[in-house]
Amino acid sequence: MKRYILLIIGLAMTAIYLFPLYWMYLTALKSSTEIFQYPPTFWPADTQWNFLEVWKSRGMGRYIWNSLLIAVGVTILATTLGTGCAYVLSRVRNVWIEIALFAILMMQVLPSSLMVTPIFVMFNQIGLLASPRIAVILAQTAKVLPLYIVLCRATFVQVPRELEEAALVDGSSRIGAFFHIMLPLARNGILVTSVLIFLQSFGEYVYARSLIAKNELQTATVGLQTFMGPNANDWNGIMTYAAIYVTPILIVFMLLQRRIVSGLTAGALK
Amino acid sequence: MLQIEIDHLNKHYGGFHALKDINISIKQGSFVALVGPSGCGKSTLLRTLAGLEKTSSGDVRIAGQSVIGKPPRERDVAMVFQSYALYPHMDVEHNMNYSMRLRRRPKEEIAERTRTAAETLGLGNLLDRLPKALSGGQRQRVAMGRAIVRNPKVFLFDEPLSNLDAALRVHMRGEIRKLHERLNATSVYVTHDQVEAMTMADHVVVMRAGVVEQQGSPLDLYDRPANRFVAGFIGSPAMNFLPAAAASNGALVLDNDGTQQIGLNRGMTHGRQLWIGMRPEHLSLKPCVNDMAIDATVTGIESTGSMTFVVLEVASQPVVLAHGGRPETRKGDQVRLHISLDDLHLFDRETELAA
Amino acid sequence: MQGIIRTIRDGSGFDILLLGLALLYLIIFSAFPIIYNIIMSLQTVDMFTLTSFNRPFVGLQNYYDIFSQPVAGTIFWNTVKFVVLSIVFQLSIGFGLALFFQQDFPGASYLRGLFLAGWIMPALVVGAIWKWLFAGDFGVINYALTSLGIADDRIFWLSDPNVALYAVIIANIWLGIPFNMILLSVGLASIPRDVYEAAELDGAGVFERFRSITLPLMRAQLGAVISLGVIFTLQQFDLIAALTQGGPADSSNVAQYWSWQFSFQTYEISLGSAVSVLMIIFVIVVAAVYVRSTRHEHSY
């Protein structure tokens, strides 16, 4: 009996916590007059399906495409650079490795909003702002790479060292052992971590806002910010935009939830 | 023909001197055990042979060729790990033939040799299983199979039986030894269990703190231990040691009990401090050939059924006596302890070397 | 050449190559910008000198300038309030939820997982949703407060200078709860059950067990979560951009947003750099404390 009371309390707390999400979807489905009713309604009286309209009128296709491009670029760059580094950090132990690891942990915490000033000036001087999406990819990779390395390292630490040694004795080179033994065994961790940094980069705002000048190269976050402008009152349009944008993120997350949580906690607390 | 020569090998880890001037020669086809307490350097030495550890100085030759600086894959050695180190994402067959696939052997040869090895080890019906679906003993066999399919120059074993239960361990000892003879291979076997070393190897190397204390045939080590450490390490139950000093007449006087003497004259200088070493199985409560008796008190009796261990106190020191059969004494008895003088070992108390 | 290929295939050259690539990248795009930032904070950098490599050196003038800005005090206290209040509430609500979901009931871990939805969403989107929730005339929060009798009249959350900062803090607490809860849940799960059973046999009640077992054994975890909370709170930018943009009249402005405004709205880039340098130093100190504490406390 007690367990069911707890379940009901738990459900209630979850519902309260997730209310903002419900409100987003609800507003998206309401008509533009219904959202300004007072007192507000908690179920749409006249359900509107204006997703396609908002998608077209706000040019969401282009924004989402830019966000995807940046997220894919960051993920590829970070996994390429980070996986090997995470592996070495999990295997070799000496003073230099300790220093490198410490430096990486420090770089993990640098806020984008503070790093963007020097990065903007530096990129401007070397002409990188002429291809602003690449500039954002480079900057965002520097932001997520330390996190990727730290989380991936936690995965590699769990692969027993003897497996790699056995491969070496069996006749494999270091490179072969890395690709045939270590990578397949750390595959899950690598995948989950990549998804995590992909989702983070898909929602990136600071660098896109600061480094990209042209609207047609902007990302979905900046598109939403523009939509919200100073005197916005098309709230059901804005919430529709938000719903279109976050629903895929939420789906991916729910599918991988358990793994993301365990990977994240392993990295943060070890 | 010498298969492995280890020549003045040294290994440092930072400030730690892990292997100190190791010299070992191993003949083709012999079975060598490296034995010693944990941390003695035996595993480091084995890993050095495999190429998994770098050396600091000295030379290692396999089949006449120096392997210093060579990566493991150029040494043609196979290794069985303590944890077995089976690749969890490969089935038994692929675990076993990974090395041949790396060497790009012809398909037929790979299939043939995998099959032969699997049959030899009784793994024939498990080839498509993943390691996680195997029992401990089966995993151990796959680890062995992975080594034998390759037909390498040298087999290295790193405590391969320590994760098995006692009965299976004894069985596998025999299996490994038989396999070794059938393949006429050269094997180096690391263990902390001296019984395993004694029963399996032709040549035993006893190590302590990075130093080879003594090497030789098992019975050599048993009969003629070079120092107190080897004497105490080889043999089960362990050798008893009593402190003694040489008297002016050359006889040995037990410490704490000047009245008890052992009339054994080996020409020791007067006053030399010694350890008397006596194996439990060479002590008796009954007279035997060329013996000497001293007073002792029975303080405990442990019987396994087939063997009896009598714990005695001699000159306030505990001494264990082993004899077959059932006990004839009881706790608290005053007895005469008979020592076979031919089997007595003497060690200098300062240098700990055999005297 | 042969030797290089060999060491990369079989030796430590492989390690050095893999490590070197990532570190080189981070040095170019992370470490160097920090140094460049420090240099810029000692120069005059604006629209005219932006692309120049030879800028006038002004010493600590920029630091002097930011501290003599009339809003500097407000922004400093806003930042402190933003960090402290966010963490206090994130931590206590997160800890409470972690304790609650630690209990054995059907669906406990599944429901706990749902909370993470708030954490994975882009902060800008979260800001947009909260902006709508906070809306003065038609916002659902005002409706709830007035109909429950908590507030007499509508609160203009985002346009009233007295409450704008708290509105941002409330949204930030919502964002931070899941992360706190999950990390603390992991800590709670690692406390062995038999410790509680032993305490129960010794006669400790629920409250006494929490005070004498849970809290002391969670100390390392709480320390880690607080440090991470400080770090993440100081990273928060998107939420402010979406909700108030620091306004009205800097009443909800915090240091990291202020730095960005200097650089990208008024183009006083060297002032932006100076604020940024100070904040980066602070974040790194907090992070160093955190890393040290997790290194020392491996287990209990």
Q: What single string gives the DSSP state of each residue in C116-162?
A: THHHHS-HHHHHHHHHHHT-TTT-HHHHHHHHTTS-SS---TTT-TT
Sign of CA dihedral C80, C81, C87, C88: positive
C50: nearest CB among A109, A124, A204: A124
Best interface-test mutation with A: which of B13, B52, B76, B80 has the largest number of A CBs within 10 A?
B52
For tokens 């019984």, name the residue: B195
Does A131 lie in the same domain as A9? Answer: no
User: CB within 8 A of C67, min separation 6: which ones?
Assistant: none
Q: How far apart are CA B60 and CA B69, in angstroms?
A: 10
B102: nearest CB among A162, A172, A185: A172
Q: Does a structural domain hold residue A44?
A: no
Taking only residues 142 to 181 of chain B, the set having a beta carbon closer than 8 angstroms to any beta carbon of chain A reads 146, 150, 156
Does B170 lie in the same domain as B80? Answer: yes
Evaluate whether C122 touches C116 at the Cβ level (below 8 Å).
no
Does B104 lie in the same domain as B159? Answer: yes
Query: Which three-class secondary structure state does DSSP give residue B252?
Result: strand
Å from B143 to nearest chain A CA?
A: 10
Considering the segment(s) C69-295 as one domain, its CATH architecture is: Orthogonal Bundle (1.10)
Point out which residues pair with B207 in neighbouring strands: B212
Average confidence score pLDDT of chain A: 88
Number of domains in chain B: 2
Q: Does a structural domain hold residue B159?
A: yes
User: CB within 8 A of A259, min separation 6: which ones?
Assistant: A188, A192
Does B178 lie in the same domain as B47? Answer: yes
Count interface pairs A-C at CB distance under 8 A.
Answer: 282
Q: Does a structural domain hold residue A42?
A: no
What was the pLDDT predicted at A263? 66
Taking only residues 43 to 102 of chain B, the set having a beta carbon closer than 8 angstroms to any beta carbon of chain C reads 71, 73
Does B291 lie in the same domain as B172? Answer: no
Point out which residues pair with B208 in neighbouring strands: B211
Does B288 lie in the same domain as B224? Answer: no
Evaluate whether C236 touches C256 at the Cβ level (below 8 Å).
yes
Q: Does a structural domain hold residue A43?
A: no
Å from B174 to nearest chain A CA?
A: 24
Q: Tell whether ipTM is more than 0.95.
A: no
Å from C14 to nearest chain B CA?
A: 13
Number of domains in chain A: 2
Instruction: Tell me, yes or no, if the pTM score tops 0.90.
Output: no
Q: Which domain holds residue A136?
A: 51-269
Q: How far apart are CA A237 and CA A244, in angstroms?
A: 11
Best interface-test mutation with A: which of B67, B96, B102 has the largest number of A CBs within 10 A?
B102
Q: Does a structural domain hold residue B30?
A: yes
C291: nearest CB among A102, A116, A122: A102
Which DSSP symbol is given to C204? -
Q: How far apart are CA C170 and CA B191, in angstroms?
A: 63
Calculate the dihedral angle through the C-alpha atoms of B115, B118, B119, B120, rounding to the nearest 10 degrees.
120
Q: Does a structural domain hold residue B354?
A: no
Asked, as a colleague might, if the bond just before A160 is cis with ω within 30 of 0, I would say no
Question: Which region among A17-31, A72-86, C202-216 has the lowest average model confidence (pLDDT)?
Answer: C202-216
Does B253 lie in the same domain as B143? Answer: no
List all chains that touch chain C, counting a touch as 3 or more CB pairs closer than 8 Å.
A, B
Does B245 lie in the same domain as B229? Answer: no
Query: Which three-class secondary structure state does DSSP give residue B193?
Result: coil
Domain finish residue from B233, B266, B282: B233
Q: Does a structural domain hold residue B95?
A: yes
CATH code where residue B335 lies: 2.40.50.140
Does B249 lie in the same domain as B213? Answer: no
Evaluate whether B327 touches B335 at the Cβ level (below 8 Å).
no
Evaluate whether B291 touches B339 at the Cβ level (below 8 Å).
yes
Q: What single string gives the DSSP state of each residue in B202-240?
A: SEEEEEETTEEEEEE-HHHHHHS-SBHHHHHHSSSSPPE
Does A132 lie in the same domain as A17? Answer: no
Which pair of tokens denotes residue B68?
């210093």
Give every residue of chain C whose pLDDT is below 50, as ranges. 297-300
Query: Which three-class secondary structure state does DSSP give residue B269?
Result: coil
- The torsion angles phi and psi of C89, rounded to 5 degrees, stand at -80, -40
Does B267 lie in the same domain as B130? Answer: no
Residues of B in contact with C11 (CB under 8 A): 71
CATH code where residue A77 lies: 1.10.3720.10
Q: How far apart are CA B108 and CA A21, in angstroms?
A: 61
Does B146 lie in the same domain as B221? Answer: yes
Angle between helices B166-183 and B136-148 (to 10 degrees): 10
Q: Does a structural domain hold residue A107?
A: yes
Contact residues of C toward B, CB < 8 A = 9-11
What was the pLDDT predicted at B18? 92
Does B121 lie in the same domain as B205? Answer: yes
How many beta carbons lie within 10 A of that of residue C215, not counting itself?
A: 12
Q: Which domain holds residue B139?
A: 2-233
pLDDT tens-place values along chain B, 355 residues long: 788 999 999 999 888 999 999 999 999 999 999 999 988 999 999 999 999 998 999 999 999 999 998 899 889 999 999 999 999 999 999 999 999 999 899 999 999 999 999 988 888 899 999 999 999 889 999 999 999 998 898 999 999 998 888 888 999 999 899 989 988 889 999 999 999 999 999 999 999 999 999 999 999 999 999 999 999 999 888 999 988 888 877 778 887 666 777 777 677 778 888 899 999 999 888 888 888 888 889 999 988 888 889 999 988 889 999 988 777 788 888 988 888 888 889 999 889 898 8
Residues of C in contact with B71 (CB under 8 A): 9-11
Å from B21 to nearest chain A CA?
A: 25
Does A138 lie in the same domain as A19? Answer: no
Domain residue ranges of chain C, discontinuous segments joined by +: 69-295
Q: Tens of pLDDT along A100-134?
A: 888 888 888 889 999 999 999 999 989 888 899 99
